[in-house]
Homo-oligomer: A and B are copies of this chain.
Amino acid sequence: MTVIEGYTYGSAASSPVTLDDLKDLRASVLFGPEDEAALRLAGDVLESQVEDVLDVWYGFVGANPHLLASFSTPEGQPVDQYLARVRARFGQWILDTCRRPYDQSWLDYQHEIGLRHTTAKKNHTDSANAPSYVALRHVIGLIYPITATIRPFLERKGHSAEQVEAMFQAWFKSVVLQVALWARAYGDGKEW
């Protein structure tokens, strides 16, 4: 295992979100034990394809100026080191989404990820010279591509149509659930 710079899973501060809040959110996205099992399988399917998935996502960000700006200097120059370091953590996130139990440590790191998209913490981890936050609307918007683009990778290891569908639905639910959790880091949290 290589060390992932700036990845602090297990030592993040406590999330203001409670396990009870999480329980309701799981119900809202219909996330159950079958989804956990399907995500475990998805972890095995995606493990060897993480770099390929990241190529697709980074290609998408690179092709959209309004997204690439979040990784660029005020002069509009993409910051390579920032892109690279975040990419490594993003790869780990794919596996964490599939393999971590959604417990207190996971909840804490979810909030840390949320904060890293806001003025509270963006750029801090990598000392980057880039805009001070990622707009919430784009985080919500990316639910679509982050979900839709995963399906071909889930199909690529010879699993049945039902298995692929189960993995896909579980992934979709988890991405929505996580974005809902990250939204807590935006604003004053009052109507979160």
User: Residues on A close to B: CB < 8 A?
Assistant: 21, 24-25, 27-30, 64, 66-67, 118-119, 133, 135-138, 140-145, 147-148, 169, 172-173, 176-177, 179-181, 183-184, 186-188, 190-192
- Say which residue of B21, B119, B147 sits within 8 Å of A191 (CB atoms): B119
Contact A180 B28 (CB under 8 A): no
Copies of this chain held together in the complex: 2
Q: Inside 8 A of A183's CB, which chain B residues have their CB? A: 136-137, 140, 183
Contact A29 B145 (CB under 8 A): yes
Contact A144 B29 (CB under 8 A): yes
Contact B187 A28 (CB under 8 A): no
What residue of chain B has the Cβ atom nearest to residue A187's Cβ?
B187
Contact B25 A141 (CB under 8 A): yes
What residue of chain B has the Cβ atom nearest to residue A21's Cβ?
B137
